[in-house]
Amino acid sequence: MTTTGWLSGDVAFITGGGSGIGKAVALRFLQEGAAGVAVLGRSLDKLASVTEDAGSLGDRVLALEGDVRSASDLAAAVDATIARFGKLDVAVPNAGIWDFQRSIHGSTPAEIETIYDELFDINVKGYLLTASTTWPALVESGGNIVMTLSNAAFYAAGGGPVYTAAKHATRGLVTQLAYELAPKVRVNGVAIGGLRTDLRGPKTAGLGGRSIEHSFAKRDGDRGPNMWIPLHQASTDPVDSTGPYVLLASRRNASVVTGSIINADGGMGVRGFATAAGGDAL
Ligand SMILES: NC(=O)c1ccc[n+]([C@@H]2O[C@H](COP(=O)([O-])OP(=O)(O)OC[C@H]3O[C@@H](n4cnc5c(N)ncnc54)[C@H](O)[C@@H]3O)[C@@H](O)[C@H]2O)c1
């Protein structure tokens, strides 16, 4: 692996780092010179793949089993990260699940209750607890937090009401925590969208068995891949969405940026009415 150094010597802690965008960010941070990357997740098998894929930099990966809904799991994981690497520079609250776009009219109140409890616990409480357990170490290092948000943090139809509300809530966390932790710790977010990952639904609602991958064909329909976003050619491989995380995490390149969110979703915010992209004839 060649390193380019935007995060030279930094240590990162990434929740849900065993697959999808979390894993891609972990590997990219190593490429950027990170001295250590701790990945927390529920499955040691998934986490082992990060060490494997890091190749010669595998000794810089620390795999930590834990659940982001548990303050004590997170505290133990952060302690282990600091014990191993000596400090913490970047925290990436990222572990999450999806509601498979269960609409309000397609769900019973009891189903909404079940989806809400599990999804908000992971996607919102998990982010807040990750910030709550990492901020003292980040104050010490003058570090930062980069949260994984979503197109659903801004727009409708990227999820059902539960997922969309949860992602809007994490926008609130970026704003409030950027205020509370300034001037010591910067807090920003990346609103990714439409990536082929292992993203699953709440197990308690029977939605844990399949991933978001199954929903791509439905969305593309007969118009072709990605015709629903302005940048039709945008990559759905999480590897290609890691750049904004590097930028926001980098002291050298983003020292004046806090409370900001980079929309990295292929331009969903500029979709037109008749067609997603106005320049298809160009
Ligand atoms: N895939 C997309 O299209 C997309 C779009 C926008 C936002 N996101 C967000 O990206 C983030 C990462 O998702 P992804 O798409 O990479 O899916 P993913 O399933 O590959 O990654 C999420 C990881 O979090 C882990 N996880 C789930 N619950 C956990 C818990 N309670 N404790 C610890 N780890 C847990 C999972 O095991 C998994 O490894 C999520 O917050 C998701 O909402 C994804």
Closest CA to 116 of 16, 204, 198: 204
Closest CA to 42 of 91, 85, 96: 96
Atom 30 of ligand 1, residue of closest alpha carbon:
67
Mutate to test the pocket of ligand 1, among 133, 170, 174, 197 (most ligand atoms within 8 A of CB): 197
Q: Are 123 and 117 in contact (CB under 8 A)?
A: no
User: Strand order of the sheet with strand 11-15?
Assistant: 61-65, 36-41, 11-15, 90-92, 144-150, 186-192, 261-264
Instruction: State in Å: Cα 5 to ligand 1 middle.
Output: 26
CATH for 11-269? Answer: 3.40.50.720
Q: Report DSSP state, residue 52.
A: H
Task: Give the per-residue pLDDT at 3.
Answer: 53
Q: Are 210 and 218 in contact (CB under 8 A)?
A: no
Average confidence (pLDDT) per 10 residues, the chain, 282 residues: 81 98 98 98 96 98 98 98 98 98 97 98 99 98 98 97 98 98 98 95 94 83 87 95 98 97 97 92 94
Q: 36 in helix, strand or coil? A: strand
Longest dimension (CA), the chain: 57
Task: Give the per-residue pLDDT at 66.
Answer: 98
Strand-pairing partners, residue 11, are: 36
Ligand 1 pocket, Cβ-based, cut-off 6 angstroms: 15-16, 18-22, 41-43, 46, 67-69, 94-97, 122, 148, 150, 192-195, 197-200, 212
Q: Which two tokens stand for residue 281?
A: 């004839």
Q: How far is CA 231 from CA 41, 214, 246, 276, in A?
A: 32, 21, 22, 9
Task: Give the per-residue pLDDT at 222.
Answer: 79
Task: Give the per-residue pLDDT at 216.
Answer: 83
List the domain boundaries for the chain.
11-269
Check if 163 is active-site: yes
Distance CA 59, CA 64 (A): 14
Catalytic residue among 116, 155, 163, 245: 163
